[in-house]
Structure 1
Amino acid sequence: MLNRLGNTLKVALSVVFVANSLGAEKPNVVFIIADDLGYGEVGCFGQEKIPTPNIDKLAAGGMKLTQHYSGAPVCAPARCVLMSGKHLGHADIRGNRQAKVSFPQFSEGQHPIAKDTVLIPELFKNAGYATAAIGKWGLGPVGSTGDPNQHGFDLFFGYNCQAVAHSYYPKYLWRNDQQVEINAKPIPGHVKPITGEVKAEDYIGETYAPKLMISEAEKFIADKKGSPFFLYLAFIEPHVAMHPPLESVNKFPKEWDTEPHRGEAGYLPHPRPRAAYAAMISDLDSYVGRVVAALEKAGVADHTMIVFTGDNGTTMESGPKARFNVGGVDAKFFNSTAGLRGFKGSVYEGGLRVPTIVSYPGKVKAGSESNALGYFADWFPTLCAAAEIETPAKLDGENLLPVLEGGAVKKDRKPLVWVFPETSGQVAVRIGDYKVLKRGLNRKQSDPWEVYEIPVDRAETKNLAKEKPELIEEAVRILKQESAENPIFPVKIPEA
């Protein structure tokens, strides 16, 4: 009988041990962010011309977030909000300011985040995670207080500077603090508009940077499969300039393009701008497929949370009567905004709402969808909750993990706040179903207040400002309460 009791005890202890081991196992996190990807530019969010089978498959195996927003309508501040968990009223970086404006010792890179600003990877590294950032950084030059290696990343590989990332064939990429030459003859992302024949071959270099970055991501996953890892993949597609590999362009119909982009809308010319833009999104989709395949090959796919999103809306118009948006993008042809108003640089829905997918086997229901409000500031507490890492105090975001795991949508969440000094100065607040915004704050005469009921007017066509003056007053109160002074990126909060 004692033997039976002993065996029973051993089995019980084994069950407890296994349960504790499983409970203690930390999930991997792969956060994928595309660059200037419109809300409607992937299939599962309505795109009809560009196939995105890998992104669509990710959505089919996880959850689509249909009312998820970027932290800002342009690159650097969006990434600052994401990494710091602080909205634009509190973020260090609130615009695309170049570092050399304040720090002439740096020849490239954007204005750096502060040394004492805590970013997501710092907490993950302290919790025993291997950490890597691959792709575009944009939050401070190498050697500055915004250096990615100084904020929790064991490995950084890619573009430090957003301006350099306008070229897909740059002279070099960064590996931590070292420049790695990849093209002896780099291809710049900008030229003056040209006349005569436009040849795609004239803008193709030897080494295509995105191919190196996706290979680096695959290697990181393979090397770190034995321990938890946090991988931030900031791909540069489909940000212009458009000079993707010819084999990618040739996948799309020649009939699409009846006229070339000669560079009149900025960046590089291309003889087949529609096909070239589609090629960039198609290549982005292939990278997502390769990441998933790498996770499966490493045997960690079932224990990895993947987030896919974009940093802001599709590239802005180049003029009221221009044939193309900036860089030759034909946003009308692709219905890039899926009917939303505005583009990159705007606090309208088309500038801020981004396609967002979360895959987390066993936690997030396959094929699910949520219209819960959320934005970039929420990812800091959400990812920490998923990894059971204690969340810092005074973050602006909210933990979305209960929503991702199928819980009820929180109806009294914090308002979403944007305080954006660029594009003439703009502010916006999402309060429940309503968005209150004002533009032109840096002009002598700002635009009137605007109020939209987003669930029933996603295209922001009916301004309810006259009917809802109390919402404007509430938005002003929130903006004044939630906007810390930032002399580098000043915005004067208007009165109601």
Structure 2
Amino acid sequence: MMIKKMTALALLGTMLATTHIIAQQRPNIVFILADDLGYGDLGVYGQTKIKTPNIDRLAREGMVFTQFYAGTSVCAPSRSSLLTGQHTGHTFVRGNKEIAPEGQEPLADTVQSYATLLKQAGYATGAFGKWGLGMVGTSGAPDKKGFTTFFGYNCQRQSHRYYPTHLWNNNEKVELTGNDLTQKKVYAPDLIQIMALAFIMDHKDKPFFLFIPTTLPHAELQGPDDEYYKMYEHSFEEHAYKGNDYGPGAKVAGYASVEKPRATYAAMVSRMDAYVGQVLDRLDALGLTDNTIVIFASDNGAHQEGGADPLFFNSTGGLRGYKRDLYEGGIKTPFIVKWPGKVKAGSKSDFVGAFWDLMPTFTEIGGAPKPRYTDGISIVPTLLGKKKQATHPYLYWEFHEDGGRQAVRMGKWKGIRQNVMKDHNAPLELYDLSKDPAEQHNIAATNAGIVKKMSAYMKEAHVESDVFPLTGK
């Protein structure tokens, strides 16, 4: 009897040990999401004026995607698409709908996120930065969507301020009492970064999913007068007044009105790049690098707000459009994946994918339950260099401001429809991205068959929403 008992205990010990080994073999996942960073704002994607050595290092050690897209061209719906694995014709939040006094339209309680599924699979889950998908206490709050730890801006409207009065630590409001005119101010992104790095340390012994939706480089353009700003303080001075007739004192006027915003924007991008470097260094220091996937992307295209100058920096990489457009410059995102021993270092992929692909990708990598629904396909075969990668028949986007817009990418073709709320059968613009990546030549008139097919896809992909109506009342 004693022998049987000892055997049972030994067997239990072996099972527990095996479970621990399996848990350690499952990779950690770190997903860093920039805010309003353009496709061309990084060195690896052609940027020449702004220094991004850490993200460029990430690219050298991983895979760079050249045909990857955000959920749409503004914050909340793009992030909804990301978390739910659905394009904006299906996902719950499809626009930036504000709620007083703080917060946005919350994700419904029935909405499933990949964080919930990874949590069910035993992952520690944390989000640090900007949320914007439901205020504390609502069905869309981070803790209701799978994150056991959240620190940052719950409300994306509040995140426009880099020296805010408060942040949120899970459901606790954290007052930043120094953020007034008489006391030392707290630069919120720095504080959020400290908490994100602490999360890695706290969960180094079990699989974790770390989501860092940083607010950088979203407007307002603001940051401390430190090493990152000084790096660019006079870099663009010669451009600030050259070619502009400011009259007497042109240099001073030009510097004040143009140079400072440019320098600040560049400093914000470089600060974000430094945060990426800190994450990589922390993983190295803890011996976690070889078992961690690190992914970097942006939530939409480059912005023109708060003095930002995307034309000067070529932030779109030569693509047409900016934030709020469904042209390539508004939705195409830098997308980089590092996974040591799995993803070939220094590789590139032209796989045509989008944010909704991350739901099936993350759940497959993490051994999590399959999602109840998704518009995405797993990109694991591409990451592992396998040939049998499923592809999309088409990608679809909606935009619910400025009269409403729809877009479809089908192979080399890109179709865009404007003013959809007024006329959901409005004329469709058509571009051949293989010959015209900057979308300069509308060839709809000579490709009636393609236009008809695009229109059918737009109708098929859009399911009308009572909360965010587009084609109906």
Higher mean Cα deviation, 248-257 or 423-432?
248-257
Distance 1:225 1:306 in 2: 15
Please report the TM-score for the alignment, with normalisation by the length of structure 2.
0.89
Change (3 A) 1:205 1:480: farther
Change (3 A) 1:411 1:431: farther
Displacement of 1:206 after TM fit?
1.0
| Structure 1 residue 128 corresponds to structure 2 residue 114 | no
| Aligned residue identity for 2:151 | F
Aligned to 1:192: none
| Aligned residue identity for 1:164 | Q
| Aligned residue identity for 2:266 | A
Root mean square deviation, CA, Å: 2.4
Displacement of 1:18 after TM fit?
8.4
| Aligned residue identity for 1:420 | F
| Structure 1 residue 491 corresponds to structure 2 residue 470 | yes
Change (3 A) 1:280 1:449: same
Tell me the alpha carbon deviations over residues 114-147 of structure 1, each in whole angstroms, 9 at most, x when there is no partner.
0010101101111111110100001011111101
Change (3 A) 1:411 1:27: closer
Tell me the alpha carbon deviations over residues 94-130 of structure 1, each in whole angstroms, 9 at most, x when there is no partner.
0111134xxxxxx111110000101011011111111
Change (3 A) 1:273 1:116: same
Aligned to 1:279: 267
Aligned to 2:9: none
Alignment of 1:106-117 (within 5 A): 107-117=101-111
Distance 1:333 1:228 in 2: 42
| Structure 1 residue 178 corresponds to structure 2 residue 178 | no
| Aligned residue identity for 1:413 | H
Aligned to 2:446: 467
Q: Which runs of 5+ in 1 are unaligned?
A: 1-13, 101-106, 188-201, 261-267, 316-324
Distance 1:18 1:184 in 2: 50
Which of the numbers 350, 365, 381 marks the counterpart of 1:386?
A: 365
Distance 1:484 1:446 in 2: 15
Aligned to 1:299: 287
Contact preservation (8 Å) 1:440, 1:446: no
| Aligned residue identity for 2:281 | A
Which of the numbers 316, 322, 332 marks the counterpart of 1:337?
A: 316
Displacement of 1:253 after TM fit?
4.6
Contact preservation (8 Å) 2:121, 2:369: no
| Aligned residue identity for 1:88 | T
Aligned to 1:37: 37
Distance 2:150 2:23 in 1: 30
Distance 2:201 2:24 in 1: 22
Distance 1:438 1:489 in 2: 18
Contact preservation (8 Å) 1:86, 1:377: yes
SS of the aligned residue for 1:473 comes to helix
Which of the numbers 220, 228, 232 marks the counterpart of 1:252?
A: 232
Tell me the alpha carbon deviations over residues 14-69 of structure 1, each in whole angstroms, 9 at most, x when there is no partner.
9xx98994697211000100000000000000000111000000000000010000
Please report the TM-score for the alignment, with normalisation by the length of structure 1.
0.85
Give the count of matched residue pairs. Answer: 441
SS of the aligned residue for 1:455 comes to coil
Aligned to 2:250: none
Change (3 A) 1:274 1:143: same
| Aligned residue identity for 1:290 | Q
Contact preservation (8 Å) 2:95, 2:399: yes
| Structure 1 residue 144 corresponds to structure 2 residue 138 | yes
Percentage of pairs with the same residue = 41
Which of the numbers 446, 449, 461 marks the counterpart of 2:428?
A: 449
Displacement of 1:326 after TM fit?
1.8
Distance 1:253 1:173 in 2: 29
Contact preservation (8 Å) 1:183, 1:205: no
Q: Which runs of 5+ in 2 are unaligned?
A: 1-13, 245-255
Distance 1:255 1:90 in 2: 45
Aligned to 1:119: 113
Which of the numbers 276, 286, 308 marks the counterpart of 1:288?
A: 276
Displacement of 1:252 after TM fit?
1.0
Contact preservation (8 Å) 1:99, 1:140: no
Contact preservation (8 Å) 2:114, 2:371: no
| Structure 1 residue 75 corresponds to structure 2 residue 75 | yes
Distance 2:36 2:311 in 1: 15
SS of the aligned residue for 1:329 comes to coil
SS of the aligned residue for 2:174 comes to strand
Contact preservation (8 Å) 1:65, 1:357: yes
Distance 2:337 2:352 in 1: 14
Contact preservation (8 Å) 1:416, 1:429: yes
Change (3 A) 1:162 1:18: closer
Higher mean Cα deviation, 478-487 or 362-371?
478-487
| Structure 1 residue 427 corresponds to structure 2 residue 406 | yes
Displacement of 1:369 after TM fit?
0.3
| Aligned residue identity for 1:272 | K
Displacement of 1:389 after TM fit?
2.0
SS of the aligned residue for 1:138 comes to coil
